[in-house]
Structure formats: C-alpha cells, structure tokens
Amino acid sequence: MIIFYSKQTGEIVGTIDGRIHTEEQLNMWIGDKNETERVIINWKPKRFLDENDNEITEAKFKQLRGKKKGIRAVWEPEHENPLLIKDLETHKVNLGKFKIIKGKFEKKSKEEIDNKKKSMETLQKSQEDRATLVIDIKAKIKDKDISVEERLDAVATLLDMTSR
C-alpha cells in the first residue's frame, strides 16, 4: 500500500492499494508533488505454514511450494503498527481518521473526526430538509391549502435551516 499525505498538515489524501507494486504504480502520484509526500508500506512473507497450519521453515516452504496443497506464506506489513495497516488495507478503518506526522501515523482526535463527519452530515441534511420543505409547500399551494401565516412559518424555517 502506498499512502499519500499532505506535507503541510499530515492529512492522508489518498492511497494506492496492494501489497506488491509494479513499476507503473511506483510512478503514480496523488495530488501536487510539491504538496504531498508518500509512504510505501512493504509487505513481506513472515511465516510459513503447512497444510495443517503448522509453522515450517522458509527452506521447507520453498521445497514444498507447488508440490503439496495447503502450503502457504503469511504476509505481514513491515510497519511498527501492522494491525493498523491490515485494517487500512481492508478499509475497516477510514483513512480520514489518521494523519501522518514525520512519517509516523497518528490517530486524529475524536473532535477532529466528529467535526469532519458533522460538516458532511450538516451539508446533506440541510439539502434534504430544504428539498422536503419545498415539496411540501408546493403541494399545499397547489391544493390551496396554505395560509399566509403558514407561508411565513415555512420561510422562517428555511431561514433557520440555512443559518445553521
């Protein structure tokens, strides 16, 4: 996995997924090269297992590979926090929850994460609320079932929504 982050803030801006990268992928870049930096997380085969999940040596693995079913290598990320990298790989963890400071991952504060989520939710909710209200008012006007007072109430509600 290759992770790109802002040089200025450490915020992760994107990833190129995968454990082994081709030359083409290593030539790729996310964002402006003057503004983003990258961390390449290498994965290496760390353990070798036989068909019964018993650990075997690398030499034995090379000897049996392709000749016997169930022989396999277990790959691990070469990083101080392998569990985090595994979670990132499977997207169990939202990239936005982390930033990179001087090459190290740092978990964002709950406040930062909540603020990010809240800003998006507010944007979507206010759009949905406005759309629903407009449809409701239009339906009432069509049925001539709305008084001036109700129209003023609706405007006040809209103003309240947009000032949030």
Partner 1 sequence: MKLVIAKPSFDALTEVDPDNLQFSSEYDTLKYQTKGTITLTINQANYYYSEHIDFPDMWLYYHYAYITVDHNLGYIPFFTGYTLDNPIGYASVAPFFEGSFIGFILANIYADTTKLYFMVNFVSGQNSGNVSFDFSYRIFKNELDII
In contact, 55 and 49? CB cutoff 8 Å: yes
What distance in Å separates the CA atoms of residue 90 and residue 119, rounded to the nearest whole number?
A: 26
Least Å from the CB of residue 144 to partner 1: 20
What residues have CB less than 8 Å from 12, skipping those under 6 apart?
Answer: 3, 4, 5, 95, 96, 98, 99, 100
Compute the least distance from the CB of residue 123 to partner 1, in Å: 6
Instruction: Pick the closer one to partner 1 by CB: 81 or 127.
Output: 127
Residue 70 is given by DSSP the state T
Q: Which is nearer to partner 1, 24 or 80 (CB)?
A: 24
Output 15 or 77, the one with its CB closest to partner 1.
15
Other beta carbons within 10 Å of 72: 15
Distance of CA 34 to the CA centre of its chain: 23
Beta carbon nearer to partner 1, 51 or 150: 150
Bridge partners for 104 per DSSP: 101
Binding site residues, partner 1, CB under 8 A: 11-18, 22, 24-25, 27-32, 91, 94-96, 115-116, 119-121, 123-124, 126-128, 130-131, 134, 155, 158-159, 162-164
Is 85 within 8 Å of 79 (Cβ atoms)? yes
Distance CA 15, CA 4 (A): 6
Q: Which is nearer to partner 1, 72 or 97 (CB)?
A: 97
